[in-house]
């Protein structure tokens, strides 16, 4: 069975600083990996996904993530945080070819002025 791990539950950055949210995965087959964002009192929205091909994936709102098979990681980054990035971020995994999606526990991002 596949799973993802997001260590910690909360990260705080200053506006304009680098955002780095970590995600490590476990899968016995090539995974599909995802990052979703949840703003307060809303459902989740897809930020970006990795299925096959280029390992550096660009998403919406200036976010990107890199699939590193050797490190079993799919960390999310953004060069410069904006106040509007404050939200909860979830890493997710599905087995290639299956739509069944399993999430990590989430990471709440706070952006300080």
Partner 1 sequence: NAGVTQTPKFQVLKTGQSMTLQCAQDMNHEYMSWYRQDPGMGLRLIHYSVGAGITDQGEVPNGYNVSRSTTEDFPLRLLSAAPSQTSVYFCASGDRGHRQFFGPGTRLTVL
Residues that bind partner 1 (CB under 8 A): 6, 9, 32, 34, 36, 41-46, 49, 51, 90, 94, 99-106
How far apart are CB 6 and partner 1 at their closest, in Å? 8
Minimum distance of partner 1 from residue 72's CB (angstroms): 19
Nearer Cβ to partner 1 (17/110): 110
Closer to partner 1 by Cβ: residue 9 or 14? 9
CA distance 24 to 48: 16
Q: Which residues contact 74 (CB under 8 A, 6 or more apart)?
A: 4, 23, 24, 25, 33, 35, 50, 65, 66, 67, 68, 91
């Amino acid at each position: 069975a596949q799973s993802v791990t997001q260590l910690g539950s909360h990260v705080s950055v200053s506006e304009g600083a680098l955002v780095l949210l970590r995600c490590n995965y476990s899968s016995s087959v090539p995974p599909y990996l995802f990052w979703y964002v949840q703003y307060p009192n809303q459902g989740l929205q897809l930020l970006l996904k990795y299925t096959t091909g280029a390992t550096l994936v660009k998403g919406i709102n200036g976010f990107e993530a890199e699939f590193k098979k050797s490190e079993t990681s799919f960390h999310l980054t953004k060069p410069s945080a904006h106040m509007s990035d404050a939200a909860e971020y979830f890493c997710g995994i599905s087995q290639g070819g299956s739509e069944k999606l399993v999430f990590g526990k989430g990471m709440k991002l706070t952006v300080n002025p």
